Structure 1
Amino acid sequence: MAENFRFTGLYTQNGVTSGLMKNKLEAYKCCANDVINFKLVREEKDLENEDTTFRPDMTHQLFGDQESIFGYRDLSLDVFYTAGTLITYLKIKYMDKVTPQKFEGICADDVEKPIAKMMPPGYLTNIDEFVNALSKEDTFRPPGEMLHSYKTENKKDNKVKWFEVYKASIEDTPDFRKYHERLQTFILFFIDAASYIDVDDDRWTFYLLFEKYRINGGFRYAAVGYMTVYNYYAYPEKIRPRISQVLILPPFQKQGHGAQLLQTFYNETYTRPEVLDITVEDPSENFQRLRDFVDTRNCMALPSFHPDHLLNGFSEEMATEARNKLKLSKRQARRCYEILRLKFVDVNNEEQFRAYRLDVKRRLNLPFHKNGRDFKKLENILHPEELSATMPNMTTEQRHLFLEKQFQELLEIYQHIVKRLDDSNEP
């Protein structure tokens, strides 16, 4: 197989790879991330509006680690969804295609197959059928029970938008199974290592976010994002909800919707006495920052987290109040404490900041555990032969270096959260 290409047959009579053929075929190779065009279509004119187009963050789960597609020149894959019902339309366009007849037995990749595999049956390939489906958006209503509504206002044009959060489940929400099949298709393009969940397990709960907008004298709904939560059993009669997947679609990102969705889930969970605490399944860096912001903002309202108490260090009172009122684990409560203490520390006061740094490092210096994340961090500061040693066997100098690096990484993250708290209009 020739390097970087999924084809064979590039040989001259002397058995040497034909450079001319290889160069010619380079024009038929592209990055999948650059040729897939998503749209959430509200009305027919959106079909030609490039401003409504967004592209995937990743495609390796469909097209391999290289995220490449071979066999087409000027390839374009249009994946359009009706904004509310998420009826899907797929169109594959290209100027030219590699065929065995024209290219010495070489075949192009089947680009439709991986996309069709991740979509539920019934996606459309006829644009007229898609436009017809779009005309039926007036009848769509979000599935489940509405938990919360809120509005946003653009200060530049004073334009107000309305949003609603719903709670749904496969068991209790009619027709939600089919809707979820369409909704979950986004995760393969925007959540790394994502996979479809077993919706037949009744422990799954879904939180859905929609924009409610006016059109032609009435109103419609557009999907904004969603969150999945799995309710684990906790002995003897408690449950421990674990947040699994959280996605805000690109047209709505960086507008505060993730915080609204997460806070709505929290508010609904706080009132349930059977909930022990809330956990998160392998959070991404972006979600961890979102969680830190929402949790820390909530902790600011707790008496034990008052600024007067922060300089005295993390206390059992903080851990207990955060668990009882906010369903936070002790580990997350401690993280919120460290962020809030940084918020109220005078970083220009050498003594105050030194006390803060030592307080965080004391926590980081607790007995190390041998796990993948620790070793990943160590790779940046230790020689390969040193990685075979367990962390407790590190020299004092190595440990100090490691702890300082950890502290600086945390400090950068915490400063980002503090800035967002300072910029937020909420208490």
Structure 2
Amino acid sequence: MAGLTAMEKKLAEYKCNTNEAIKLKLVRFQEDIEDESMTFNPEYSHQLFGDDEVAFGYKGLQIQLYYSAGSLSTMFRVLYKSKVNDKFDSVQADDVESKIREIIPAGFCTGTDDFVSFLEKEVNFKPFGTILHTYTVHNEEAGEEFTYQITKADITCPGFKEYHERLQTFLMWFIETASYIDVDDDRWDYFLVFEKYNKDGATLFATVGYMTVYNYYVYPDKTRPRVSQMLILPPFQGEGHGAQLLETVHRYYISSPNILDMTAEDPSENFVRLRDYVLVKLCQDLQCFSAEKLHLGFSKEMVTETQQKLKINKQHARRVYEILRLRATDLSDPEKAKAYRLDIKKRLVGPYKKNQRELAKMRRCLQPEELTNQMNQIDLNTQHEQLEESYQQLIAEYRRTVERIAQA
């Protein structure tokens, strides 16, 4: 703060971190409204509040976005202890309310009484679409089983379009590069996860998470579903719902004869981890991945069988093979460990070799000193170090998947 004027110091007190100021909540019972322990915060707010994720002009800022657990009927209000406009002339506070209104659909309320009347209507809310899968999760803390449903919906389901508008607001807070989709395009499929719960003797449903998938046309008569967005809401994370959802969606597409394979748009590290687990789980009993075949290396049979039976493309089949071969390899045996390491590194070195081929082409048109600079950039020792680092990172990821499969 050195060098700041007294005025600048004063104004600095009116800056709030928006990830802390935004309070999100999924509400089932009236008493939840005042229960601080149920609030959760965004991971991101840069799309609305800039890269600094700061709102200027308030002390003790609270941006409350409370949703009824099922239908996601919304209460939105902005609270603060003091505002800069009241204290200083010619300094304006950020218009926080307008920024939030840009992303939340109309129909929200701003007071507790109206929100309570939303909650009373929750008994009428039912999951959209057709049920694809039902499963239970045993909660150790609560000492009971909870039941969940995964459904497939489309925009023709009555009320779904409005519900989806409320649901997708969560993307802004939890997916770094999130954007809203064009729901009028009928190539979108929507998969939803709901929890069943009891309230006053009635069965109600709470929204847990969802996935959107876009169906791309592949010449001449196939479709390639591509996962666009996937989110399990924070109160439900770490309970296995992501794996249940992805496996259910994958099985849904496997059953359709016109599907070529399933892929994902710009997947995050967490999504790749989840996909590894689900695909290995689906593939582990295929004949082509038997222990004796794994040690012979990646084969055309693996590509064909995974594609035909499980709609998995060659690139993903290769990862499945590498994970299953790791599981089947005794790494304490130096010979087996070496064979495995060389097999993986042979694939990883591909991009380096491509660079060298491109470099050979460049030699013809580069001056000698430029060429030396280029050669230094891909110095062999550096290559080996990078390759070893990539290998170790990959093995750490694969081990994690193998452990999770063993636990399951």
TM-score band, normalised by the shorter chain? Answer: over 0.9
Q: Work out the CA distance in 2 between the residues paired with 1:34 and 1:320.
A: 50
Deviation at 1:18, TM superposition (A): 5.7
Task: Find the partner of 1:57 among 34, 43, 52.
Answer: 43
- In the TM superposition, what are the counterparts of 1:4-403 in structure 2 within 5 Å? 19-99=5-85, 102-170=87-155, 172-368=156-352, 389=374, 394-403=378-387
In the alignment, the residues of structure 2 paired with residue 76 and residue 390 of structure 1 have an alpha-carbon distance, to the nearest angstrom, of 56
The secondary structure found in structure 2 opposite 1:148 is: strand
Distance 1:18 1:253 in 2: 43
CA–CA separation in structure 1 for the residues paired with 2:276 and 2:5: 54
CA 1:367–1:103: 2 relative to 1, 3 Å: same
Partner Cα separation in structure 2 for residue 85 and residue 316 of structure 1? 48
Distance 1:397 1:328 in 2: 36
Cα deviation for residue 347 of structure 1 reads 2.3
SS at the partner of 1:136? helix
The structure with the greater share of residues assigned to helix is: 2
Return the offset for 1:397.
Answer: 2.3
Deviation at 1:355, TM superposition (A): 1.3
Residue 280 and residue 82 in structure 1: after superposition, are their counterparts in 2 closer, same or farther (change >3 A)? same
Residue type of the partner of 2:150? V
SS across alignment from 1:152: strand
Q: CA separation of 1:213/1:389 partners in 2, compared to 1, >3 Å: closer, same or farther?
A: farther
Change (3 A) 1:249 1:156: closer
Cα distance change on mapping 1:417 and 1:215 into 2, 3 Å: same
Q: Deviations over 1:305-337 (max 9, x none)?
A: 122221111111111111111111100000011
Give the RMSD, CA atoms, in angstroms.
2.0
Farther off after superposition, 304-313 or 223-232? 304-313
Structure 1: how far apart are the matches of 2:104 and 2:47?
Answer: 13
TM-score by length of 1: 0.88
Task: Give deviations 1:44-93, integer Å, cap 9, x for gaps.
Answer: 01111122111111111111001111110011111100000101111211
Taking the aligned partners of 1:402 and 1:158, their CA distance within structure 2 comes to: 48
Q: CA deviation at 1:390?
A: 9.4
Per-residue displacement from partner, 1:289-309 (whole Å, max 9, x unpaired)?
A: 000100011110211112222
Is there any run of 5+ residues in structure 2 with no aligned partner, and where? 356-369
Aligned to 2:363: none
Residue 414 of structure 1 deviates from its aligned partner by: 1.1
For residues 200 and 162 of structure 2, what CA distance do their matches in structure 1 show?
28
One-letter amino acid matched to 2:63:
L
Do the aligned partners of residues 410 and 75 (structure 1) sit closer, same or farther apart at CA in structure 2, a change above 3 Å counting? same
Using the alignment, how far apart are the partners of 1:98 and 1:163 within structure 2? 47
How far apart, in 1, do the equivalents of 2:66 and 2:16 lie? 21
Deviations 1:88-128 (A, max 9, x none): 111211110001x6324111111111111001112111211
Q: CA deviation at 1:156?
A: 4.7
Partner of 1:135: helix, strand, or coil? helix
> What is the distance in 2 between the residues matched to 1:27 and 1:224?
37
Give the 3-state SS of the residue equivalent to 1:118 in structure 2.
coil
Whichever residue aligns with residue 124 of structure 1, its letter is C
1:10 corresponds in structure 2 to: none
Which SS does the other structure have where 1:54 is aligned? Answer: coil
Aligned amino acid, residue 275 of structure 2: R
Q: Distance in 1 between matches of 2:331 and 2:245?
A: 33
Aligned length in residues: 392
SS at match of 2:43: coil
For the residues of structure 2 that align with 1:287 and 1:187, how far apart are their CA atoms?
Answer: 15
Q: Distance in 1 between matches of 2:42 and 2:291?
A: 42
Identity of aligned residues (%): 48
In 2, Cα distance between equivalents of 1:336 and 1:34: 40
Q: Distance in 2 between matches of 1:155 and 1:82?
A: 25
Q: How big is the shift at 1:154?
A: 2.0
TM-score by length of 2: 0.92
- CA separation in 2, counterparts of 1:41 and 1:185? 16
